């Protein structure tokens, strides 16, 4: 049984990964290079923590296309943590295994699953995941699922920071989560 207040905090996660305008180069795979995490206190309706973890890719490099999209350079991510260390940090400092978490769509969850499987790294998150894109679509009665920037427009919220930057996207997704919670549109778990 959960202690009082255990479910009030939610980790909102957004990752950026190595990417290319087409297929990856031979031997390369898309790997997480940034993990943005915003902690949301659902009881007080506040964003109470903003975190960024840079991750050093092991089987790919940051392409010029990826740098243009995310603003992240190879030099910057070379100073990051290993993927395994980033996952340990999520578990130890952000209670990723026990705290509910959300992302915009399922890409982030699937990317962690793939990369953990490929590297033998223990999956850092628990099973209580909410796809915020689905929750938003249902709350607004939309037929098509909007991207995060479009959802912010629909909700009348500003886009803060740089789109396709994990730390900023997690912060913006957290604003959408709080917006939905304020409309009774955030699913209880």
CATH number, residue 34: 3.30.420.10
Q: Pairing mode, if any, of strands 32-41 and 46-54? A: antiparallel
Torsion of Cα atoms, 179 then 135 then 6 then 84, to 10°: -110
Res 186: pLDDT: 96
Task: Flag whether 99 is in a domain.
Answer: yes
Task: Flag whether 4 is in a domain.
Answer: no
Strand partners, 102: 12, 130
Expressed as residue numbers, the domain containing 132 is: 9-182
Strand partners, 16: 34
Task: Flag whether 1 is in a domain.
Answer: no
Task: Flag whether 97 is in a domain.
Answer: yes
Kindly report the pTM of this predicted structure: 0.95
Q: How far is CA 47 from CA 9, 60, 61, 172, 174, in A?
A: 10, 33, 33, 10, 7
Res 20: pLDDT: 97
What is the three-class DSSP state of 79?
coil
Task: Flag whether 98 is in a domain.
Answer: yes
pLDDT string in tens for the chain (189-residue length): 344 455 799 999 999 999 999 999 999 999 999 999 999 999 999 999 999 999 999 999 999 999 999 999 999 999 999 999 999 999 999 999 999 999 999 999 999 999 999 999 999 999 999 999 999 999 999 999 999 999 999 999 999 999 999 999 999 999 999 999 999 999 986
Res 188: pLDDT: 82
Res 7: pLDDT: 78
How do residues 52-95 score in pLDDT, each as one tens digit? 999 999 999 999 999 999 999 999 999 999 999 999 999 999 99
Neighbours of 84 (CB within 10 A): 17
Task: Flag whether 143 is in a domain.
Answer: yes
Token pair 């913006």 is found at 172
The number of folded domains in the chain is: 1
Res 1: pLDDT: 37
Token pair 């920071």 is found at 161
Token pair 């909102």 is found at 12
């Amino acid at each position: 049984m959960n202690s009082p207040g255990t479910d009030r905090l939610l980790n909102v996660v957004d990752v950026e990964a190595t990417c290319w305008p087409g297929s990856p180069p031979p031997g390369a795979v898309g790997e997480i290079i940034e993990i943005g995490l915003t902690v949301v206190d659902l009881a007080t309706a506040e964003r109470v923590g903003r975190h960024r973890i840079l991750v050093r890719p092991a089987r790919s490099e940051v392409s010029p296309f990826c740098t243009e999209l995310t603003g992240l350079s190879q030099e910057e991510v070379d100073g990051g943590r290993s993927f395994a260390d980033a996952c340990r940090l999520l578990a130890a400092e952000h209670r990723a295994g026990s705290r509910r978490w959300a992302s915009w769509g399922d890409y982030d969850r699937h990317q962690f699953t793939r990369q953990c499987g490929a590297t033998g790294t223990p999956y850092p998150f628990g099973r209580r995941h909410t796809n915020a894109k689905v929750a938003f679509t249902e709350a607004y009665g939309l037929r098509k699922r909007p991207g995060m920037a479009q959802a912010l427009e629909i909700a009348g919220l500003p886009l803060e920071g740089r789109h396709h930057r994990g730390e900023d996207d997690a912060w913006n997704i957290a604003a959408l989560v709080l917006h939905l919670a304020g409309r009774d549109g955030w699913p209880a778990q």
